[in-house]
Amino acid sequence: MFNTKPTNQVRAIAGNHSGNLVTCSPSAQPIYNVLEHKAKCGNHWARITVAGLQSLCAGRMHLNNVFIKPATNISYGHEEFFLILPGCKATVEKQSNGQFRVLHLEADMNYGLLQQHAKKPGLWCANNDDGKWRASYLKNGHIKGKQDRVVAITDRVDFEPDEVLGQSVSYLGGASISGGGFNLNKYGFDMHHTPGTSMIGGMRNVSQANMAERDSSLHESALLLAKTMYNARDIDDVRWVSVKGGSGILTQAMQLLADQGVTLEGHAVQFCAPTTNVAKAVSLAKSLELSKDRNYHSQRRLLDPNQFIGGGVLSGYIVPYQRLKNEKDYDSLKFVGDLYKGTNSIKAVGVTAIAVGSAVGVTSGVTVPAVLSFISGLAGTAALAPKLTEAYLPRLHHKIKGRF
Amino acid sequence: MFNWSLKLRQQTEYCVPQGPSFQRAGLIKFSTSGTEISLRAPRHNSHFSYKEAIQPPRECEYKHLMMKPARKHSKRWLYHNLFMRSWRFNGPWFSGSVGELSMRIALITPNEPDQDASFFRPKAFENGAADYLQYCYAHDVFEGAQSWLAPVDWQVVNPWPCPAATFYVRANAGSISSPNRYFLFPVSDSHFIEVYFNLHRGGAGLQEEKDKLISLSTIEQLSTDIMNSIQIKLSPEAQAQQAKALEGIEDAQLSESFPPIKFTTPEQDAEYERYLQDEIRTQEILNR
């Protein structure tokens, strides 16, 4: 560890011709060789791991993304840090001459098998044959190369993919961009499954919910998802739908892609009942140029404390504000409507009623009470007025509804 | 005891899950084209919201049923669900649902039935069953190895008014899928009834690993009890078809044994062989 010069018999794993030289310590070399062999045999996870190690040649600074933990001790220009990759944890030393040396590799060579046994995150294909939902493992991490494919990012609630599937299907069917239950039954969907028994984010893991994009326990899964999303960038209109805590993994995966400067134009995103910070997720989705339906979220119920605290109490205000600033087709009436919806669902109507009222008065010719009762109906509270409008003045109803 | 559905903790020790009592199970009777089928089954109580229960129609005719392809990859076999229920099995003391038995009775028919053959002939029935299993399970291949073993524990049901057999379909080594259980018998020349059970358990890993945590015994017992309660009475038309089909046939018995069918092609076998070689090579590099 104290010898900073790479010895001659050690083969450089990257940076031979350009960039920083990356070498392996003798103890890590055989493990690296196996990883390389696995990658050549077409193992999805091994390919990501090898590419991750090799990307060190471009320096650590550009890897300003989540899978680097800060050093344990920094002194005299030496730096040690961990690199967490699928199936592998690498300890890397940054030497004073700018070269990198992989000191130690803890690799799980059975990672592919563990993925297949649903003990590690992976991509599964869900199909409904004769009324039964069944998930089957996809080894190469590629989604079905078809237009309008729905990909669910599920929460860490169980190990068994079928069980997770059972808990997620109804959320997915309710998400407006998935095309509904009929569509899902007919074509099936892909599912990024993260095994585990504790929900991501929510009421109990507040720091995880707020900092999902940098949370180390989600690295592995997010890295695999980011790779899957990257692979799918040439497929048209893929719909990425997160279910509950899946929003945390999707947020981190989007962060990884955003750090690499990737955009996914034409793809769409939606968060069903998110339990991690929505404001962050929305701004990342924006930077990836992901499109959305009227709302980024679906089935958001702020009476659920996991969504209320995990999803961000104030995101009901922040998200509309961000959108008002950044989106062209997002007018002030929608802004006001969303503000009111957010307010209404957290039962603090009084605070924004005045602001809403005055803003509505300014921006539209519709009378204030009519719009308010209408929006509250859309927000889920029982309201008679919109129902009456729908029944007796359908054209007016659809005209107002079209705006929201 | 205390096998409630409320989940507040994770079960970490071996347990025997408890499901509904078969003692109090109600009688279900229905008929398809005159053939009467009766069985006893507890009330539907599923852990999964998407699993629906289907009550059988009291009477129905084959030709009036809407038959759908059983798998998406082709339309070789069609099905119609006559009866469907699921039962949750709970672990002890607030560990929630740990297993589930799903049941289905479906009418199965080939898309283009062979006019000369009749499922009442034992050999034709066996061929039909083998082709149906091939259709359902041969598609699942991972690394060149078939994911399913079908049929396993083939048993001929005696006495029964027509040829009938029960068997399991189990996951092949390396696959995590839960076992399925089948009971097949013909009800006309070109239709047979499929009684299907899925014996699901929660938790991580292979079925062998689950065996150490959650017992399959109670789930299996309920499926056996329901299967034993099934009774049929063939319609006069079906009996006429059977008599006609069996004319001049001496060997009217099903085979006593039916080993698992090999689904993979030689190319797939070669792929699996390569995969195994790769694994050996990996170990070699590691140990060098």
Kindly state whether residue A372 falls inside one of the protein's structural domains. Answer: yes
Kindly state whether residue A2 falls inside one of the protein's structural domains. Answer: no
Contact A131 B52 (CB under 8 A): yes
Number of domains in chain A: 3
Q: Which tens digit of pLDDT belongs to each residue from B217-268?
A: 899 999 999 999 999 888 888 888 888 888 877 777 888 888 888 888 888 8
Q: Are residues A215 and A311 in the same domain?
A: yes
> Which carries the bigger pLDDT value, residue A254 or residue A368?
A254
CA-nearest residue to A167 within chain B is B48
Residue B183: predicted pLDDT: 92
Q: Are residues A43 and A57 in the same domain?
A: yes
Max Cα-Cα span within chain A: 85
Which pair of tokens denotes residue B7? 């989940």
Among A295-304, B60-69, B158-167, top mean pLDDT goes to: B158-167
* CB A247 within 8 Å of CB A212: yes
pLDDT band at B181 (very low <50, low <70, confident <90, very high): very high
Kindly state whether residue A224 falls inside one of the protein's structural domains. Answer: yes
Please state, in angstroms and rounded to a whole number, the distance separating the CA atoms of residues A360 and A97: 62
pLDDT band at A377 (very low <50, low <70, confident <90, very high): low
Average pLDDT over residues A58-84: 58
Nearest to B65, CA basis, from B28, B106, B117:
B106
Q: Are residues A225 and A296 in the same domain?
A: yes
Buried b (16+ CB within 10 A) or exposed e, B216-245: bebbbebbebbbeebebebbeebbebbeeb
Contacts of A41 in chain B (CB under 8 A): 278
Q: Which tens digit of pLDDT belongs to each residue from A328-371?
A: 777 777 777 777 766 665 554 444 444 555 555 544 445 555 55
Q: Are residues A335 and A311 in the same domain?
A: no
**If you write DSSP's letter for every residue of A64-84 in order, what string do you get?**
-STTEEPPS-EETTEEEEEEE
Residue A76 above 70 pLDDT? no
Can you say how many angstroms the Cα of residue A221 is from the centroid of all Cα atoms in its chain? 10
pLDDT band at A381 (very low <50, low <70, confident <90, very high): very low
Q: What is the average pLDDT value for chain B, to the nearest integer?
A: 85
* CB A166 within 8 Å of CB A139: no
Q: Which of A327, A355, A373 is the last residue of a domain?
A: A327
The full set of domain ranges for chain B reads 26-287
Average pLDDT over residues A118-145: 82
Cβ neighbours of A310 (radius 10 Å): 30
Shortest Cα distance, chain A CAs vs residue B200, angstroms: 9
The answer to whether the Cα torsion of B261, B148, A185, B81 is positive or negative is positive
Reduce the DSSP state of residue A366 to 3 states and report it: coil
Residue A65: predicted pLDDT: 43
Shortest Cα distance, chain B CAs vs residue A172, angstroms: 12
- Region of residue B33 (phi > 0: left; psi between -120 and 50: alpha; otherwise: beta): left
Residue B26 above 70 pLDDT? yes
Residue A20 above 80 pLDDT? no
Which residue of A38, A129, A169 is in closest CB contact with B282?
A: A38
Q: Which of A61, A87, A109 is the last residue of a domain?
A: A109
Contacts of A129 in chain B (CB under 8 A): 70-72
Q: Residues for chain A: how many in total? A: 404
Q: What's the whole-model pTM score?
A: 0.79
Please state, in angstroms and rounded to a whole number, the distance separating the CA atoms of residues B30 and A139: 44
Contact B48 A188 (CB under 8 A): no
* CB B231 within 8 Å of CB B38: yes
Q: Sheet containing B35-41: which strands, arranged edge to edge?
A: B59-60, B26-32, B35-41, B231-233
Q: Are residues A291 and A147 in the same domain?
A: yes
| Chain B residues 173-232 with CB within 8 Å of chain A | 174-178, 198, 200, 202-206
Average pLDDT over residues A186-213: 83
Which residue of A30, A116, A169 is in closest CB contact with B288?
A: A30
Residue A71 above 60 pLDDT? no
Domain limits for position A246: 116-327
> Which carries the bigger pLDDT value, residue A303 or residue A196?
A196
Please state, in angstroms and rounded to a whole number, the distance separating the CA atoms of residues A44 and A142: 9
pLDDT band at A73 (very low <50, low <70, confident <90, very high): low
Kindly state whether residue A32 falls inside one of the protein's structural domains. Answer: yes
* Phi, psi at B80, each rounded to 5°: -145, 125
Contacts of B205 in chain A (CB under 8 A): 117-119, 159
Please state, in angstroms and rounded to a whole number, the distance separating the CA atoms of residues B284 and B287: 5
Residue B140: predicted pLDDT: 82
Q: Which tens digit of pLDDT belongs to each residue from A163-192?
A: 888 888 888 888 888 888 888 888 888 999
pLDDT band at A104 (very low <50, low <70, confident <90, very high): confident
Residue B33 above 50 pLDDT? yes
High-pLDDT (> 70) share of chain A, %: 77
Contact A116 B174 (CB under 8 A): yes
Please state, in angstroms and rounded to a whole number, the distance separating the CA atoms of residues B224 and B211: 19
Q: Are residues A303 and A347 in the same domain?
A: no
Q: How many helices (H) and strands (E) does chain B have?
A: 5, 13
Contact A166 B278 (CB under 8 A): no
Contact B140 A136 (CB under 8 A): yes
Residue A403: predicted pLDDT: 63
Kindly state whether residue A360 falls inside one of the protein's structural domains. Answer: yes
Q: What is the average pLDDT value for chain A, to the nearest integer?
A: 75
Residue A67: predicted pLDDT: 47
ipTM: 0.80
Q: Are residues A209 and A314 in the same domain?
A: yes
Q: Which of A306, A327, A348 is the last residue of a domain?
A: A327
Q: Are residues A219 and A71 in the same domain?
A: no
Average pLDDT over residues B188-214: 86
Residue A228 above 70 pLDDT? yes
Lowest-pLDDT choice from A106-110, A238-242, A347-351, B103-107: A347-351
Residue B115 above 60 pLDDT? yes
Residue B121: predicted pLDDT: 86
